[in-house]
Each structure stands twice: as structure tokens, then as C-alpha cells.
């Protein structure tokens, strides 16, 4: 369908040397009129690369999001050239009973309100918001009823000469490079679609076993050196729940868990998955159970985390390793995660001893070595009788610690019966 004339309610403004129009555009018109940013790349291979990167899984997920009741978009930045857009000012302000308000309106603002009229012959492409555009186009193509929806757009002018394309490319990269992803701590505290965030909040707000300070409600992933109270951080709890919920769904990706809020009944099920797993963890590993049930958690944590190393599960890295191994055990033996964790009751847990010393625990510096996480997980998998690439295990161990054959005898002795 060829675009026809269209008038958009708009505000006109200036930032730096850019004149822009902040408009409301019907979503169906966005799908019809707006292209990807291939217009700023005369090379067709670069244009094709942009399109391939956009019309993938993310476009599908955004299209699905557009069918949810609570959908919302921030502004797309669009560049336009050609055609003959007209700016129609609405400057004749009147008030029948509150004329004094008009005195508060600055003269410059009176010129900022109006309509931007498009003829339909303009070329428009997305400078910022290309994935949103891809999702919009896909949703409309799939028949989503968005005919009454409007989305905010910011329109700027573009020229097709060399200088104009450089200027628009610079705007494109500036907007995209300086965009800051939503921080994990903000997702945990605010997101109402992300299942892990919802359940993390519910646990720390309503369950005494998880209430701060037992779960440290802080911005960092790791536990501050001076914290001798918590079991782990809320970010670590979030990551643990992600592993559990993906396993519960039988999925290898967390996308459906992050963007599609389930029913309240389904959220209750996820809550049960979380509490059942941690109940099993508390039953299987006595120090964890003592902390979660204690009215004075610092008395427990002091013994199990500090410069001496301490208990594997009192570190976020240890909680992740054990959870991943338990889930692998559950998959292999067709168990639930709670039952699988109980089968790991006799795994070594002292960071200062084999197999963790020199791998994820640096006894000289008395700190966690995150680089050893993969190796530690593979060693624990071997101890638990799970399939392991022995060649890779030997290579990784030799690089990290040395004398694999000697260490292997020790791992054999630790193997679960």
C-alpha cells in the first residue's frame, strides 16, 4: 500500500543544531512508512546486514509483546528526506474562563505546538528503535489489531549527500552507543513481567528465610568483603531462580521468563519451585538450613564465609555451580531439582580444600577466582558421576593447577557412590 497524506500532532523543538518534531504516529502508519537505517549506508551489503540482524528472534518477541495488555514503547527516532513535510503551527491560544494561564505560556512555546503534515512521498527510516520497528512491522503483518494505537516518534531531517549521511550516521551511533541497558538491580526491583524478579521480590518481602539480611538486597552481584551475614545476594538469587525456572519449563533460554508475565496461578507455581529447591538445599546442607532458619544469621555466616574460605554455598559462585550440577543430574535421571540436590549431599564443600583450593579459591590472596568457575563445575560433575570431557578437564586443570594425574586420584576418592 502506498502511503497517503497524514497530519501528526507534534511539538517542534531544537537541540544543538538539530530541529526535531516530537509526534504521535499511528502504529500501522509506522509499519507502512518507516524503513530500516539502510538509507545511511550506500553499500547494499551493509544494508542487508542491518536487515538480517533486525528480522530475527528479537523482532518476534517484540511483536508478541505488542499483543500484551500492558504494552508501551518509548519514542523511535526517525529521519526523513524527500517529499514536502509542512509544519502547521497552532498559535492562537484562547481561554474562556482562565485567561491568566495564557500569561504563563512563553512566546517560544506558542510556536512549538502544531501538526506535522506528511505528503506520503517522504522517505522515512529509523535512526533509533530499529528492533522496535521490526517488531511493529511483524506484528502488523501477523494481523495484530493495532489500528487504534499511537506511538511516540521524533522526526529529524536528513540529506542524502555525503555530509548528510555522515551527520545522520553519527546521530545513529551516538544514540545507540550511549543508550544504557536497564541495570539488573532495576529489573529485580521494578520489573513486573520478569518472573525471576517477581519471585525474588516475593521471597525477600514475604518469606522469613529470605528476608534481608539473609539475602543481601544490594546492587552488586558479589557479596561485599565485610558482609558476614547473608547467604547470598538478591542478584545471585535471581540467577539461581533463572536456572531453576528454565529447567522447570524445559527451555534453554530465559526469554519467555523475562518478557511475558504469567498468570498469578503460574507465579504461585514458580514460587513453589523456588521454595522447594531451597528447602531441599537447607535439608541437604546443614549450614544453609541453619542460616535460613536462624534469627541471628551472622552467628552462622561468620563460621562459613571469611578469609579462611568457608562453605561453597555461602558464595554466589558456589551456589551457581551446585545448582547447575544438580539440574544436570535431574535431567539425566529424570528427577526434580530438589530431589537431585539431595543426591549431592556428600560433595566436598570446603573452599580451602580440594577440589576448590587453587581453582575457585586462592588461598594465598584469600579471594574467589572467578576464572576457575568452569573447571570447578567440571570437577564437581566428575565427582557426581556426570559425563565429562576428560581431555578438556585435564587441559584446564594443568593450566590452572598442574599435576592432573595426582589430582585425579583425589577426585576418584571423592566420587559419590
pLDDT at 101 over 70: no
Q: What is the pTM of this model?
A: 0.73
Which region among 155-159, 316-320, 329-333 has the lowest average model confidence (pLDDT)?
A: 155-159
| Same domain for 172 and 71 | yes
pLDDT for the residue numbered 403 = 77
Which region among 109-123, 279-293, 361-375 has the lowest average model confidence (pLDDT)?
A: 109-123
Q: 297 is in which domain, residue-wise?
A: 185-351
| Same domain for 196 and 57 | no
Spatial distance between the Cα atoms of 316 and 238, rounded to a whole number of angstroms: 11
| Same domain for 154 and 16 | yes
Per-position b or e across 304-334, b if 16+ CB within 10 A of its CB: bbeeebbbbbbbbbbbbbbbbbbbbbbeeee
Q: Which of 279, 254, 285 is nearest to 349 (CA)?
A: 285
More confident residue, 105 or 28: 28
Is 391 contained in some domain?
no
Is 410 contained in some domain?
no
What tens digit of pLDDT does each residue of 44-76 get? 554 555 555 566 777 888 888 888 888 888 899
Average pLDDT over residues 72-97: 77
What tens digit of pLDDT does each residue of 197-225 get? 999 999 999 999 999 999 999 888 899 99
Cell of 92: 492562537
| Same domain for 276 and 174 | no
| Same domain for 266 and 152 | no
Extract the runs of DSSP E, i.e. beta strands, from 228-358.
Answer: 232-233, 305-306, 309-310
Is 378 contained in some domain?
no
pLDDT at 184 over 90: no
Q: Over the chain, what is the mean pLDDT?
A: 87
| Same domain for 155 and 122 | yes
Dmax (CA) of the chain: 92
- Three-class DSSP category at 242: helix
Last residue of one domain, picked from the residues 307, 327, 351: 351
pLDDT at 159 over 90: no
- Three-class DSSP category at 219: coil
Which H or E run contains 216?
strand 215-216
pLDDT at 148 over 70: yes
pLDDT for the residue numbered 24 = 94
Q: Report which listed range, 91-105, 162-176, 249-263, 329-343, is most confident.
A: 329-343
Spatial distance between the Cα atoms of 231 and 301, rounded to a whole number of angstroms: 7
Q: Which of 406, 401, 302 is nearest to 357 (CA)?
A: 401
| Same domain for 160 and 191 | no
Is 68 contained in some domain?
yes
pLDDT for the residue numbered 13 = 87
Q: Report the percent of the chain where pLDDT is more than 90.
A: 52
Is 376 contained in some domain?
no
| Same domain for 198 and 94 | no
pLDDT at 351 over 60: yes
pLDDT for the residue numbered 88 = 81
Extract the runs of DSSP E, i.e. beta strands, from 54-190.
Answer: 76-81, 86-89, 113-118, 123-128, 150-157
pLDDT at 3 over 80: yes
Last residue of one domain, picked from the residues 145, 179, 213: 179
Spatial distance between the Cα atoms of 111 and 107, rounded to a whole number of angstroms: 7
Cell of 377: 563445575
Is 131 contained in some domain?
yes
Last residue of one domain, picked from the residues 114, 149, 179: 179
| Same domain for 222 and 251 | yes
At a CB cut-off of 8 Å and minimum separation 6, what does 26 contact? 147, 149, 150, 151
Burial degree of 226 (CB within 10 A; 0-12, 13-18, 19+): exposed
Is 390 contained in some domain?
no
| Same domain for 125 and 238 | no
Domain count, the chain: 2
pLDDT for the residue numbered 107 = 65
| Same domain for 44 and 126 | yes
| Same domain for 209 and 135 | no
Which region among 44-53, 176-185, 249-258, 389-398 has the lowest average model confidence (pLDDT)?
A: 44-53
pLDDT for the residue numbered 227 = 94
Q: How sure is the predictor about 274, in pLDDT bands with cuts at 50, 70 and 90?
A: very high
Is 365 contained in some domain?
no
Average pLDDT over residues 356-365: 94
Amino acid at each position: 500500500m502506498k502511503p497517503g497524506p497524514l497530519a501528526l500532532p507534534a511539538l517542534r523543538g531544537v537541540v544543538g543544531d538539530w530541529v526535531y518534531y516530537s509526534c504521535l504516529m499511528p502504529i500501522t502508519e509506522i509499519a507502512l512508512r518507516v524503513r530500516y537505517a539502510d538509507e545511511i549506508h550506500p553499500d547494499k551489503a551493509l544494508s542487508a546486514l542491518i536487515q538480517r540482524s533486525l528480522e530475527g528472534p528479537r523482532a518476534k518477541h517484540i511483536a508478541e509483546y505488542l499483543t500484551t495488555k500492558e504494552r508501551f514503547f518509548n519514542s523511535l527516532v526517525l529521519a526523513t528526506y524527500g517529499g514536502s513535510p509542512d509544519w502547521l503551527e497552532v498559535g492562537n491560544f484562547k481561554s474562556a474562563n482562565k485567561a491568566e494561564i495564557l500569561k504563563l505560556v512563553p512566546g517560544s512555546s506558542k510556536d512549538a505546538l502544531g501538526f506535522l503534515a506528511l505528503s506520503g512521498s517522504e522517505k522515512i527510516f529509523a535512526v533509533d528503535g530499529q528492533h522496535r520497528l521490526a517488531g511493529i512491522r511483524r506484528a502488523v503483518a501477523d494481523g495484530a489489531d493495532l489500528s487504534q494505537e499511537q506511538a511516540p516518534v521524533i522526526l529529524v531531517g536528513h540529506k542524502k549527500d555525503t555530509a548528510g549521511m555522515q551527520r545522520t550516521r553519527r546521530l545513529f551511533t551516538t544514540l545507540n552507543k550511549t543508550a544504557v541497558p536497564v541495570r539488573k538491580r532495576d529489573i529485580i526491583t521494578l520489573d513486573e513481567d520478569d518472573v525471576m524478579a517477581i519471585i525474588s521480590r516475593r521471597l525477600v518481602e514475604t518469606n522469613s528465610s529470605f528476608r534481608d539480611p539473609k539475602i543481601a538486597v544490594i546492587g552488586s552481584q558479589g557479596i561485599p568483603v565485610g558482609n558476614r551475614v547473608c547467604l547470598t545476594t538478591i542478584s545471585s538469587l535471581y540467577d539461581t531462580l533463572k536456572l531453576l525456572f528454565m529447567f522447570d519449563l524445559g527451555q534453554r533460554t530465559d526469554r519467555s521468563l523475562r518478557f511475558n508475565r504469567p498468570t498469578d496461578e503460574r507465579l504461585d507455581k514458580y514460587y513453589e519451585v523456588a521454595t522447594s529447591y531451597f528447602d531441599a538445599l537447607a535439608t541437604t546442607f546443614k549450614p544453609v538450613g541453619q542460616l535460613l532458619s536462624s534469627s541471628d544469621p551472622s552467628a552462622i555466616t561468620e563460621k562459613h564465609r571469611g578469609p579462611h574460605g568457608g562453605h561453597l554455598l555461602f558464595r554466589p559462585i558456589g551456589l551457581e555451580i551446585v545448582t547447575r550440577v544438580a539440574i544436570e543430574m535431574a535431567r539425566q535421571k529424570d528427577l526434580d531439582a530438589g530431589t537431585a540436590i539431595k543426591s549431592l549431599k556428600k560433595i566436598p564443600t570446603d573452599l580451602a580444600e580440594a577440589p576448590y583450593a587453587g581453582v575457585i579459591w586462592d588461598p594465598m590472596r584469600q579471594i574467589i577466582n572467578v576464572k576457575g568457575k568452569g573447571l570447578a563445575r567440571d570437577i564437581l560433575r566428575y565427582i557426581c558421576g556426570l559425563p565429562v570431557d576428560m581431555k578438556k578437564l585435564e587441559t584446564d586443570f594443568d593450566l590452572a593447577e598442574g599435576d592432573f594425574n595426582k589430582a585425579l586420584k583425589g577426585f576418584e576418592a571423592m566420587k559419590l557412590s
